[in-house]
Structure 1
């Protein structure tokens, strides 16, 4: 029994090692949903073969071989065809273009404003007004190109005095007022409506996103 289990474990280990080497190097941050699901399936395949008394070493090795061939074939097809690569790994989506949030792309990728802001914060961007372009990558990360006036420059390099840093406060998301945040910055609904109207927007429900930042004022993104 123990000899049989040892042979299966060693065979499974070597099979997984060989398949991993054949498929090539991929950073964890570059793993696509297809790669992730394939890895889970491959692990489950080996685990089931090891603990299934009816399964033989040859059965497990054949399963690993067939799965490895399918994976390599998909990789090769993806390298030769952009359409197939997009189908397998997905395509990047521009969710902010020229400083404007592309709501259609958010809906297409099933993310909302809260998700977008979370991803931007992970990219060290705390205000959407700083962003010229934002691209949602196939692995779920976001790549950001900031507006030129928000590019990182060390103030000591320019011999400038340091100024206090403030975080932006979200006032509206998806057409709804965040009341606690509005009161927290010391304003009321009447003030907010006046700000919206000054930007040519009639109602709060027509605003996709709005934020307030000290010394920079309000920033409003209407529904496109």
Structure 2
């Protein structure tokens, strides 16, 4: 019975985490806030502790997870519908560098020191504060940077060059296996792919670690 109870709790915990992740949407991962992180930890603890505590009944686990899930989901709905409460529940971005100067008061408000700020700037390829015109600390703790004009990367628009259409690279072979769906997406068949492979000196897809197609360019092949 102990093994059966653990099995049921694992299945329920897995299903609950899966459903809540879907309900929260992709921003739950890509734009996770400190509150979201703590909420996920507590949800995991509710399920994890229940598996090893014989005094906690399965019905109580279900009740706790459901209530916690409703609270998290309600918070997300409120932040979407009520703009006034969004700042309280999720916080707001903070401009920590304004017109090339560090705002020390904002730095203290976000509980960050200069070394931490430099680390975040380096992650955006900014190795000197003199290169930065604006830096914004987002609600998830990441930084968004706007460089000064003389440090910004040159674009095609700046050079007045003709624009080329943007195409998405498509993986056709991965670990020696043909990606059939991707092959159909670019309107190729297996014969056409094998012909392209053999033209570059390979016998079959089994010899290919990675193959990438991009419109207007030769097929990229990498062997083992």
Rounded to whole Å, the distance in 1 between the matches of 2:42 and 2:126 is 36
| 1:149 aligns to 2:154 (yes or no) | no
Taking only aligned residues, the RMSD between alpha carbons, in angstroms, comes to 1.8
Deviations 1:139-160 (A, max 9, x none): 1111000111111138xx98xx
Rounded to whole Å, the distance in 1 between the matches of 2:65 and 2:126 is 44
Rounded to whole Å, the distance in 1 between the matches of 2:124 and 2:12 is 42
Are 2:21 and 2:28, in contact at CA under 8 Å, matched by a contact in 1?
Answer: no
Q: 2:104 — aligned with what?
A: 103
1:88 CA drift (Å) = 1.9
1:5 CA drift (Å) = 1.5
| Aligned partner of residue 135 in structure 1, secondary structure | strand
Q: 2:52 — aligned with what?
A: 51
Q: 2:4 — aligned with what?
A: 3
Structure 1, gaps ≥5 residues long: 159-224
Structure 2, gaps ≥5 residues long: 160-224
Deviations 1:186-219 (A, max 9, x none): xxxxxxxxxxxxxxxxxxxxxxxxxxxxxxxxxx
Q: 1:137 — aligned with what?
A: 138
1:50 CA drift (Å) = 1.7
Name which structure has the greater RCO, CA cutoff 8 Å, separation 6+: 1
Q: 2:115 — aligned with what?
A: 114
Alignment CA distance shift 1:19-1:29 (3 Å)? closer
1:27 CA drift (Å) = 6.1
Deviations 1:50-103 (A, max 9, x none): 211122222111111101110111111111223322222221000111112111
Q: 1:194 — aligned with what?
A: none
TM-score, normalisation: structure 2: 0.65
| 1:67 aligns to 2:59 (yes or no) | no
Q: 2:21 — aligned with what?
A: 20
Rounded to whole Å, the distance in 2 between the matches of 1:125 and 1:6 is 50
Instruction: Report the number of matched residues.
Output: 156
Alignment CA distance shift 1:15-1:29 (3 Å)? closer
| Aligned partner of residue 134 in structure 1, secondary structure | strand
Rounded to whole Å, the distance in 1 between the matches of 2:30 and 2:66 is 27
Rounded to whole Å, the distance in 1 between the matches of 2:109 and 2:65 is 35
Are 2:32 and 2:140, in contact at CA under 8 Å, matched by a contact in 1?
Answer: yes
Q: 2:213 — aligned with what?
A: none
TM-score, normalisation: structure 1: 0.65
Are 1:15 and 1:61, in contact at CA under 8 Å, matched by a contact in 2?
Answer: no
Deviations 1:93-128 (A, max 9, x none): 001111121111011111122221111111110111
| Aligned partner of residue 111 in structure 1, secondary structure | coil
Are 1:133 and 1:144, in contact at CA under 8 Å, matched by a contact in 2?
Answer: yes
1:29 CA drift (Å) = 4.2
Rounded to whole Å, the distance in 2 between the matches of 1:29 and 1:69 is 21
Are 2:94 and 2:106, in contact at CA under 8 Å, matched by a contact in 1?
Answer: yes
Q: 1:37 — aligned with what?
A: 38
